[in-house]
Amino acid sequence: MNKVLMIDYHKCVGCKNCEMICSLVHEGICAPSLSRIRVAKDERAGWNVPVTCAMCEKPLCVLVCPVGAASRNQATGLVTIDEQKCIGCRQCVQACPFSHVNFNPARGAAFKCDRCSGDPQCVKYCWTGALTYEPMEIALNQKRQAAAQKIANE
Amino acid sequence: MRNIVIVGNGAAGNSAAETVRRHNQQIPIVMVAREELPEYSACALPDYLSGWVNRKQLFIKNEEDYIQQNIQTLLGREVRKIDAEQHILVTSREEIEYDRLILATGSRAVIPPVPGCDLPGNFVVKTVGDIEAIMLHQPRQVVVVGSGNIGIEVAEALHLQGCQVTVVELMDHILPRIFDSQPAALISKMLTEHGIRVLTGEKVLAVVGDAQVQEVTTDQQVLKCDTVIWAAGVRQNVENARAAGVKIGELGGIQVDSRMQTSREGIYACGDCIESMDMLTGLPTLSLLWPNAKRQGQIAALNCLGQQVEYEGALSLVVEDIFGVTVVSMGMTSKALGSGDIEILKGHSHNQYWQVLLLNDRIVGMQAIGVTSGLGAVMALMKNRTTLSEFHHIIADPDLMLKATWYLPARQFLDNYLICRSGE
Amino acid sequence: MNRYLMIDFTKCTGCGLCQMVCAINKTRQCDPSLARIKIWREETRGVFIPMTCQQCVEPSCASACLMNVITKDPLTGVTIRKLDNCIGCRACQMACPFEACTYDHLLEVVVNCDHCGGDPECVKICPTGALQYLHLKESLDCRRDAEALRRTAFYGEERSQG
């Protein structure tokens, strides 16, 4: 059963641990601009929203790539960008509906979340539980329970 | 790593050398080549013959460029032997120890062994020297044997120089590996309308003459001429590789894996001399084209440097200018695909031809005459293996289309089908 | 850090001023076919897509060029051509997925957008702001914030005034 990365932004406090560990694991340095997961914040209003790859079933990044560098694995559902094939045209960056796909000018290639090949580190280091990685049914079930609870308490 | 030795000064060899330098400024690069000239574009040779470009414009590099890029060149050398055990390259002048060897030896033009093929007045078109020999000969009546890329370009070039030209092709239509019969016939018509004689399904049996070429005998007629240009195919320069135990493939090129590595450790190969893999079918293919040679050179160099890079395969892209009309062929022809579930969409109007080959709803080939836009977008669809139904789904939704902007030129190209059909 | 010509296709009205000013600026000819930016039009759906050179890091045009005329400027990242060596074969034009290369039928060479040396004329003249010259990071951060806002708006979250 394929797992999905669930984001409950209400629990996000904007600590950006996820950005630190993601960039460290993928690029060898703590650099938020090179992190795959990014936290958008509005300090005054008080919300923090982590944004990462949605692993779309019909990914736009795959459709707009003119050289076939972006692809989706049917079995795992993972959408990846092959850095070697990437020509740095940035169509995927512009096409992503969630503004997730980014571009590294130093490498001349686009980059995106790869779920750390099945063991996402951002989830491990998220201490508030805003990020979880679990089978979709379980995640949805929990959401259903929480919603039902809320209604029952009102 | 001690050094990287590259044999060949063509597209693949130079691409490999430049890629090494881009990633590593220290490692010594030694380039060994037969010709004493800096890198030039062999593709532009017919333009040199026609007078469209001058000799200086042919050259991509000059001697300073090699010095600036810190590439040591050993020109005017023949390779005598590759000692794959000891890692030594033996040339006609020296022995070079190599750490990594990249073979980019290319191919040579072949002249079939017909009687008279060694008479003065017989030429091939492969090097600057070949073109200058033709110019010196001052041809007036020319027979061009073979109607591939090179044959057709040379025929046009000589025609523009005022020669009377006849093209003799063995197969039933010209440009047999690049175009299917219908577009080939249209191109043939363009040539004949300009005064070039085109004979197809005809075989050259002999070249006849006393001191030099005077006529060509085919299986159907005798053609008076003073010059014969042999554009009848090439053979890979793989003799030294074979002798060194490097595995050669069935098609005659050096066998390489997806990292351009040959069967001998430390030896890589790229360009015309290899058997590469077709991007769409995965089958072995000889892709004797400039862009593929450059890409293969790049991949070979990266792997030499220790980067694990896979080659995505060769895709054919041929662009010709036939008396001012652009003709293009990409991917596979229907002959190459053979029978099967291929679908051909085609159409033509009075000055345009358009054809798209589909396999399992995916574009695998395209041929066009007189159409100059949307072609790159169609190639992108080919590389991306997008199905036409996915494509139409995106096109139908204006919001999605604004994300996939290059789909619009592709759609306008594919719409030509409808326009061309109604224009018949 | 390089800037890119960013196009907001939802704002393009197809007026064609970018094409005109580009052609005039680069060639002194009032001929949109010589412009380095071209608008692909779908009048019926009101879709207008300006397309120009994407300044790819490893351009398809450079791979296809039979004279190795096309390189990247190491400082600005712009795709540049040594036009003296261009023989006008148009192979690059056929290889580009974005229809970015323009065939200059007067000079008989192929050209591409070069950002006018860092101050693009088309951006200056675009009346709707569809064309902008931005750092990628700026643009992406803005879009990501807008996406975050879209998600929070669903829950009726507050939005600060600043």
Tokens representing residue B23 in the block: 């990633």
Predicted local confidence at residue A78, as pLDDT: 95
Nearest Cβ partner for B398 among C40, C47, C103: C47
- Give the ipTM: 0.90
- Measured from the Cβ of residue A14, the count of other Cβ atoms closer than 10 Å reads 18
Give Cα B354 distance to the centre of its chain: 22
Which of B324, B246, B23, A6 lies closest to B4 in space, CA to CA? B23
Write the residue in C47, C60, C66 that is nearest to B43 by C-beta.
C66
Q: Tell me if chain C has a CB within 8 Å of the CB of B375.
A: yes
Could you state, in order of their start, the residue ranges of all structural domains in chain A?
3-153
Q: Which fold has domain C55-112?
A: Alpha-Beta Plaits (3.30.70)
Chain C within 8 Å of B405 (Cβ-Cβ)? yes
SS3 content of chain B, % helix, strand, coil (to 5): 30, 30, 40
Which B positions 27-86 lie with beta carbon below 8 A of chain C? Answer: 41, 43-44, 47, 52-53, 57, 60
Considering the four listed CATH numbers 3.40.50.620, 3.90.1570.10, 3.40.50.300, 3.30.390.30, the one that applies to the domain covering B324-422 is: 3.30.390.30
Residue pairs spanning B and C at CB distance below 8 A: 93
Whole-number pLDDT of residue B423? 37
Please tell me what DSSP assigns to residue C101: -
Contact by Cβ (8 Å): B134, B121: no
Residues of B in contact with C42 (CB under 8 A): 408
Give the integer Cα–Cα distance in Å for B315 and B364.
10
Q: Which of A9, A49, A99 is facing C143, going by the closest CB pair?
A: A99
Return the minimum-mean-pLDDT range out of B361-375, B410-424, C97-111. B410-424
- Residues of chain A with C-beta less than 8 angstroms from the C-beta of B384: 62-63, 65-68
Task: Please state the rounded mean pLDDT for residues B167-190.
Answer: 95
How many Å apart are CA A134 and CA B366, to the nearest integer? Answer: 45
Domains B111-230 and B324-422 agree in fold: no
Yes or no: say if B74 and B182 are a contact pair by the CB < 8 Å rule. no
Closest CB to A66: pick one of B385, B403, B406.
B406
Question: Which residues make Cβ contacts (< 8 Å) with residue B157, sequence separation at least 6?
Answer: B46, B47, B49, B50, B52
pLDDT by residue (tens digit) across B57-105?
A: 999 999 999 999 999 999 999 999 999 999 999 999 999 999 999 999 9
Q: A95 and B403: CB-CB below 8 Å?
A: yes
Indicate whether B339 pLDDT > 70.
no
B385 contacts in chain A (CB < 8 Å): 68
The torsion angles phi and psi of A136, rounded to 5 degrees, stand at -60, -40
Task: Check CB contact under 8 Å for C95 and B376.
Answer: yes
Check B43, B225, B273, B420 and give the catalytic one.
Answer: B43
Domain residue limits, chain C = 1-52+114-162, 55-112
Q: Does A26 touch chain C (CB under 8 A)?
A: no
* CA pair distance B46, B33, nearest whole angstrom: 22
- Find, among B380, B413, B411, B414, the residue nearest to B396 by Cα: B411
What's the gap in Å between the CA of A68 and the closest CA on chain C?
A: 12
pLDDT for the residue numbered C162: 46
Over residues B166-182, the mean pLDDT reads 95
Q: For the residues B369-382, what does the mean pLDDT come to?
A: 93
Residue C159 has a pLDDT of: 59
**Burial classification of residue C32, based on how many CB atoms lie within 10 Å of its CB (0-12 exposed, 13-18 middle, 19 or more buried):** middle
- Asked whether the beta carbons of residue B312 and residue A94 sit closer than 8 angstroms, the reply is no
Residue A66: list chain B partners with CB under 8 A: 376-377, 380, 383-384, 406
Residue B132 has pLDDT above 50, yes or no: yes
User: Distance from C79 to chain A by nearest Cα, in Å?
Assistant: 12
Neighbours of chain C (3+ CB pairs under 8 A): A, B
Q: Which two tokens stand for residue B408?
A: 């619009």
pLDDT band for position B172 (50/70/90)? very high
Q: Do domains C1-52+114-162 and C55-112 have the same CATH topology?
A: yes
- Which of B57, B294, B317 is facing C85, going by the closest CB pair? B57
Q: How far apart are CA B315 and CA B285, in angstroms?
A: 10
CB–CB contacts below 8 A, A to B: 37
Cα-to-chain-centroid distance, residue A101: 9
Which residues in chain B touch residue C5, judged by CB atoms under 8 angstroms apart?
A: none
* Superfamily of the domain at B4-108+234-304: FAD/NAD(P)-binding domain (3.50.50.60)
How many beta-carbon pairs below 8 A join chains A and C? 80
Q: Cβ contacts of residue A36 below 8 Å, gap of 6+?
A: A22, A26, A52, A53, A100, A102, A111, A112, A113, A114
Who wins on pLDDT, B413 or B101?
A: B101
* CA dist A67 → A62, C34, C156 (Å): 10, 27, 41
Give the domain B111-230 fold. FAD/NAD(P)-binding domain (3.50.50)
User: Tens digits of per-residue pLDDT, B11-50?
Assistant: 999 999 999 999 999 999 999 999 999 999 999 999 999 9
Q: Percent of chain B at pLDDT above 90? A: 85
Cβ–Cβ under 8 Å, residues A143 and A134? no
Structural domain C1-52+114-162, CATH architecture: 2-Layer Sandwich (3.30)
Residue B424: the pLDDT is 34
* Surface-to-core class of residue B149, CB atoms within 10 Å of its CB (0-12 exposed, 13-18 middle, 19+ buried): buried
Measured in degrees and rounded to the nearest 5, phi and psi for residue B218 equal -105, -175
Task: Using pLDDT thresholds of 50, 70 and 90, give the confidence band for residue B422.
Answer: very low
Q: Which residue of C has its CA nearest to A107?
A: C57
Query: Is C151 close to A49, i.e. CB distance below 8 A?
Result: yes
Listing DSSP states for A13-47 in one string gives ----HHHHHHHHHHHSS--GGG-SSEEEEETTTTE
Asked whether the predicted pLDDT for residue B365 surpasses 90, the reply is yes
C157 — pLDDT class (breaks 50, 70, 90): low
Q: Greater confidence, B280 or B271?
A: B271
Q: Using CB atoms within 10 A of its CB, is residue B101 exposed (0-12), middle (13-18) or buried (19+)?
A: buried
Average pLDDT over residues B146-161: 96
Res. C158 pLDDT band, cuts 50 70 90: low
**pLDDT over 70 percentage in chain B:** 98
Instruction: Mark yes or no for CB contact A66/B384 under 8 Å.
Output: yes
The whole-angstrom separation of Cα A40 and Cα C157 is 14
| Class of A3-153 in CATH | alpha beta
Picking from A68, A95, A97, the nearest residue to B404 by CB comes out as A95
Q: What is the Cβ-side half-sphere exposure of residue C142, based on CA atoms within 13 angstroms?
A: 9
Give me the residue spans of the domains in chain B.
4-108+234-304, 111-230, 324-422
Q: Which residue has the tokens 């890589």?
A: B268
Q: What is the pTM of this model?
A: 0.92
Taking CA–CA distances from B387, the nearest residue in chain A reads: A63
Residues of chain C contacting B, Cβ within 8 Å: 9-10, 40, 42, 45-47, 49, 51, 60, 63-64, 66-68, 84-85, 87, 89-91, 93-99, 103
Of B312, B383, B403, Cβ closest to residue A64: B403
Decide if B420 is catalytic. Answer: no
Tokens of C74: 């190491």
Task: Please enumerate in sequence order all residues whose Cβ is within 8 A of that of C150, keeping only pairs 6 or more positions apart, or say none.
Answer: none
- When the pLDDT of each residue in chain B is averaged and rounded to a whole number, the result is 93
Tokens 């120890």 locate to B97
- Per-residue confidence (pLDDT) for residue C43, from 0 to 100: 86
Q: Does C148 touch chain A (CB under 8 A)?
A: yes
| Contact status of B88 with chain C (Cβ, < 8 Å) | no
Q: Report whether pLDDT(B245) > 70.
A: yes
Give the distance from residue B126's alpha carbon to the nearest chain C alpha carbon, in angstroms.
Answer: 15
Residues of C in contact with A42 (CB under 8 A): 145, 148-149, 152, 159-160
Query: Residue B89's closest CA among B238, B235, B241?
Result: B241
Could you tell me the two tokens for C133?
A: 């010259």
Contacts of A97 in chain B (CB under 8 A): 403
- What is the Cα B238 distance to its own chain's centre? 17
Backbone dihedral angles phi then psi of residue A117, each to the nearest 5 degrees: 55, 35
Spans of chain A below 50 pLDDT = none
